[in-house]
Homo-oligomer: A and B are copies of this chain.
Amino acid sequence: MKTSFSYEGIKKKGYKVTRQREIILDILRKANVHLSADEIYIKAKSRSPGIGLTTIYRTLEMLYNLGYVNKYDFGEGRARYELNDTMVETCKHHHHLVCLRCNRVIDYTDFVPQETELITKTISGISRKYGFKVQTHIIQFYGICKECQKRKNKNGRL
């Protein structure tokens, strides 16, 4: 099953499986939104009050380096994380629409069939031309969401 798989992966790399890491991984597994380190901290704290924020950061970094979590910057001044699709089957590959005004993030999953093909082609082109070994990619669209378009902002700028 998936659970033991991830732990095995962690062990195999020489990392130890600790109670804290199990909790953090479980929180990520159950989350269906992008969590910040602090949000994970709050959730983890309710299960294991002694846990430290430092551990959250260290674990997230480890998981990121292992390729088990994706790390995003949506322009809020802090990172957000989610389990990679290789870890959770419910988490389908997706991209993001980021609202420049309210910072809301919409997951975008409606790919035209061409996309996968084009990305695959691009990745192999990148490998050939630059010798660059692509692990992941992100595509983010920045703009103004539906709600913010209605709302006029006061100073007329932006």
Q: A residues bordering B, Cβ < 8 Å?
A: 13-14, 65, 71, 73, 75, 97, 99-100, 106, 108, 110, 112, 114-115, 118, 121-123, 125-126, 129-146, 149, 155-158
Instruction: Check A137–B145 contact: CB distance below 8 A.
Output: no
* Cβ distance A114 to chain B, nearest Cβ, rounded Å: 6
Query: Which of B125, B135, B143 meets A144, CB within 8 Å?
Result: B135
Q: Which residue of B lies closest to A108 (CB)?
A: B126
Known: A65-B157, A112-B122, A125-B112. A143 touches B134 (CB 8 A): yes
Contacts of A115 in B (CB 8 A): 118, 122
Nearest first, the 6 closest Cβ-Cβ pairs linking A and B are: A131-B146, A73-B73, A134-B143, A135-B143, A137-B141, A133-B144
Known: A132-B145, A140-B138. A65 touches B158 (CB 8 A): yes
**How far, in angstroms, from A137 to B138 measured CA to CA in the complex?**
10
Known: A126-B97, A137-B142, A141-B126. A132 touches B106 (CB 8 A): yes
* Cβ distance A40 to chain B, nearest Cβ, rounded Å: 18
**How far, in angstroms, from A132 to B135 measured CA to CA in the complex?**
29
Instruction: Check A133–B118 contact: CB distance below 8 A.
Output: no
Instruction: Check B75–A71 contact: CB distance below 8 A.
Output: yes
Residue in A110, A121, A122, A157 whose Cβ sees the most chain B Cβ within 10 Å = A122
**How far, in angstroms, from A59 to B6 measured CA to CA in the complex?**
46
